[in-house]
Amino acid sequence: MNLFDLTGKKSVVTGGSRGLGRGIAEGLHEAGAEVVIIGSSDEVFTTAEEMNKTGSKVYAVKGDLGDRGQITDIFNQAIGILGTVDILVNNAGIQSLHKSEEFPLDVWDKVLQINLTTTFQLCQLAGKIMLERGSGKIINVASMNCFVTAQKIIAYVASKSAVGQITKALANEWGGRGVNINAIAPGYFDTTLTSFIHQDSEREKLIESRIPMERWGTPNDLKGAAIFLASDASAYVNGIVLPVDGGYLSR
């Protein structure tokens, strides 16, 4: 038996049209799962079309995960396509750069809504299905900022740290009822969220010098962790926050 085989599994990936979310969605797809990717722009349809050229089916749902009133409808659209959900990946996230003493509260609210509250709401919605069935996998995308922090991203740090903690709390409540909930904590990955760092060559070099693998991560580097946490290979893994950081936290 291939413990990493996801053939026949139904999965939902938020923020799956690009960056880390696309890498995760591609990994699940390559392992055999059907995938619904959720995104806020028409890019989600293009991504689904590109991924659909091989393997299992990939579908797209467009919606604003920052609007609390849309979350249930967006989720129900995904379930309407798949029929159920075996794997939920909460990847959608944003950040905003401001000095802490000047951080606008409306921006704080927006970051926490998408990064934290939407994640919890989708955990609730998928959890109800999984708990009734007695099985399921939820993967929340947290951040290395669960363990270390940085300047001017206090809302992001707060939200992602909380994602790590709700992952553990849900694992405590649901683990004995057949649902595994874990988180991935990416380090420095080359995505649109980190593009501002590349504008500061001195900081970029400093970060890379601390990474033992001597490079930034790419979306492909998350595939293995996602497949592991989504598959039977992690049947007895619950409530962890797994760093995928090239060794950054070891220094």
Spatial separation of the C-alpha atoms in residues 179 and 152, rounded to whole Å: 36
Q: What is the pLDDT of residues 153-210, one digit of tens each?
A: 999 999 999 999 999 999 999 999 999 999 999 999 987 777 667 667 777 788 888 9
Strand order in the sheet with 10-14: 58-62, 34-39, 10-14, 87-90, 136-141, 179-186, 241-244
Q: What are phi and psi of 139, to 5 degrees?
A: -120, 115
Question: For 133-151, what is the mean pLDDT?
Answer: 96
Find the catalytic residue in 156, 188, 236, 248: 156
Ordered domains of the chain (ranges, CATH): 10-243 (3.40.50.720)
* pLDDT of the residue at 54: 86
Q: What is the pLDDT of residues 202-212, one digit of tens each?
A: 777 888 889 99
- Could you tell me if residue 8 is left (phi over 0), alpha (psi between -120 and 50 degrees) or otherwise beta? left
Concerning whether 59 is annotated as a catalytic residue, the answer is no
Q: What is the pLDDT of residues 5-36, one digit of tens each?
A: 999 999 999 999 999 999 999 999 999 999 99
Q: What are phi and psi of 107, to 5 degrees?
A: -70, -40
